Amino acid sequence: MRKKGADQVLNGVNLIIEEGTCVGLLGQSGAGKSTLGRIILGLEKPKAGQVLFEGQDIYCADQRTRKHYRRHVQAVFQDSYSAVNPRWTVEQILSEPLENYETMSRKERKIVLIHWLERVGLSEKDLSKYPHQFSGGQLQRINIARALLLQPKLVVLDESVSSLDMVTQGVILDLLVELKKELGVAYLFITHDMTAAYHLSDQLAILDQGELVAQFRSKDDFFSSEEIAVQKMRDAMLADHPLSRTIGRPVR
Amino acid sequence: MQESILQIENLHVQTKTPHGTTSLIQDVSFEVGRGQIVGLIGESGCGKTVTSMSILHMLDRKTTDVTGSITLQGRELIGMSERAMRSIRGKDISYIMQNPMNSFTPVWTIGHQLIETIRRHTTVSKRQAKAKAMDALAQMNLPQPDKLLNKYPFELSGGMLQRVMIAMAACMHPPLLIADEPTTALDVHTQKLVLEHLNQIRHEYGTAILLITHDLGVIAEMADQVVVMRQGEMVEKAEVLELFENPKHDYTKKLLAARPSIPAVCPI
């Protein structure tokens, strides 16, 4: 997959996401991470350049290719509540993609839904609940289930864990890693959280003011890179142990 | 132990619902000394924010019941009148919220809101208050304080607003600052800057800081003491190093293990 954006927001970006890999897209706020995500999702047409999915440019494809594309590229956003219809039950929310792309009876559909709910750590009795009855973490699991139940090739995760607390974050990240192994799905993980990106990604790409300043085939190269934007990013990381703190009072 | 600023003993908070009373906080006790940063951690819904709200009397008096003892520099806050509380908020206790976009009034300029806070608590003229406000902004390394005062909240970025919020919280040199998830809504670059500002206030004015967060990185960087909460109860209270090196409670161990950390390859 390849795309080139112009204008001020994104400038000459080339990015390839291979089958079954996770690319972590890091950058400051305002760097254009989410814009790139939206372009890849087919929501915003770039002024110049192409987005190729399985060799086809999605912005000048015919109806069938676009339908195929929309099925195989899914998204999970940061705010889990605004990503679902508050008046729908979980069953309705999760059924929608299946109704659009699959022909199956209600009974079959229910079996699929229950399977997926259990897969993400919820249960059958949650089917009749409404979004407001869930916590942010639980609802994000439902969003993940909705994105994955069509077995897509790529999922764009735009700050999908950023608003969750650390315990839930850890659990959701583990779930995403597991699902990737199991389904062979590729992720574009957009975040500003280096620890989360490191945990989930195979490769890392760094976006700074609309330009892709660095791309690492192996995530460990991130720590040896001399690139200024990357160094700045490493400097902004918080210590994970009080002995290596740089701000507060020294502990020893 | 230094002079104690805030002392909380046997704090219980209960809320009345149509189905009876539910307990939100049970038996929480800790203290914050002068110039000390106490971190309050736990997952969402564990009562961190309720604890801070009960210190400030910002819970609904009709439906919640706060018992125990909260003393600020020797004065008992529980049972204090609303009027007396008003002069404590902003002057003796400052509060920084998670989302800086929601903590300013959108229709007034930054300057208006800063000057209002200063004049509410001191007897200075408008001009003196303005000078003081500019001072406070300059202290936080905010560029062009005079221009900043005429801006509306929507004209500033989240990180910038949070720094203005800290400047505002610090300008009265309060003995206690409560920072409720001060960096959660910010990106990592601004996060470090904001934390440095908080540390600067602590050093300059000896402000005691109650730092509420779920980010262990923030705790590792800042806290002297840590209080761990779960489902309204305090499960552990320890020095920060002690907590990271040998956590006593299973829940603390779970918290420490929850977040993936980057292996020691990083040469920082």
Give residue-wise pLDDT tens across range A155-181. 999 989 887 888 888 889 999 999 999
Residues 6+ apart with CB under 8 A from A73: A40, A41, A42, A53, A152, A153, A154, A155, A156
Judge: B224–A248 Cβ closer than 8 Å, yes or no.
yes
Q: Which CATH superfamily is domain A22-244 in?
A: P-loop containing nucleotide triphosphate hydrolases (3.40.50.300)
Please determine, for residue A3, whether its predicted confidence score (pLDDT) is greater than 70. Answer: no
Residue B94 in this model has a pLDDT that exceeds 80? yes
Q: CA–CA separation, B259 vs A200, rounded Å?
A: 12
Chain A closest CA to B116's CA: distance in Å?
31
Q: What is the mean pLDDT of chain A?
A: 89
Q: Does domain B4-257 have CATH number 3.90.1150.10?
A: no
Contact B195 A247 (CB under 8 A): yes
Residue of A nearest to B245 (CA): A241
Q: What is the ipTM of this complex?
A: 0.76
Whose tokens are 């005691």? That residue is B208
Percent of chain A with pLDDT over 90: 58
Chain A residues touching residue B212 (CB < 8 angstroms): none
* pLDDT of A2 higher than 70: no
Question: Between A173, A193, A251, which is nearest B188 by CB?
Answer: A193
Q: Do A234 and B266 touch (CB under 8 A)?
A: yes
The domain spans of chain B are 4-257
The residue of chain A nearest to residue B213, with distances taken between CA atoms, is A165
Instruction: Check CB contact of B244 with chain A, cutoff 8 Å.
Output: yes
| pLDDT score at B102 | 85
Q: Would an 8 Å CB–CB cutoff place B220 in contact with chain A?
A: yes
Phi, psi for residue B71 in degrees, rounded to 5: -115, 135
**Residue B5: Cβ within 10 Å count:** 26
**Measured distance CA(B207)–CA(B177) in Å, rounded:** 7
What does each C-alpha distance from B90 to A42, A64, B95, B170 come to in angstroms?
48, 61, 7, 9
B69 pLDDT exceeds 80? yes
Among residues A235, A243, A252, A197, which one has the least CA distance to residue B221? A243
pLDDT digits (tens, 9 = 90+) for B97-142: 888 888 899 999 999 999 999 998 889 999 999 999 998 898 888 8
Mapped onto helix, strand or coil, the DSSP state of residue A150 is: coil
pLDDT tens column, B243-266: 999 999 999 998 888 867 666 444
Q: Do residues A176 and A143 touch, judged by C-beta distance below 8 A?
A: no
Q: What is the pLDDT of residues A204-248, one digit of tens each?
A: 999 988 889 989 988 888 888 888 888 888 888 888 888 888 888
What is the H or E stretch that residue A189 is in?
A: strand A186-191
Query: How many Cβ atoms sit within 10 Å of the Cβ of residue A118?
Result: 13
Q: pTM score, two decimals?
A: 0.82
Our CA-based measurement puts residue A9 at a distance from the nearest CA of chain B, in whole angstroms, of 17
Q: Which two tokens stand for residue B73?
A: 């520099």
Percentage, residues of chain B above pLDDT 90 = 59
Residue type at B155?
Answer: E
The pLDDT value recorded for residue B266 is 43
| Burial profile B59-81: b = 16 or more Cβ within 10 angstroms, e = fewer | beeeebebebebbbeeeebeeee
Domain ranges of chain A: 22-244
- pLDDT, tens digit (0-9, with 9 covering 90-100), for B171-204: 888 999 999 988 887 878 788 888 998 999 999 9
Q: CB contact, 8 Å: A194 with chain B?
A: yes
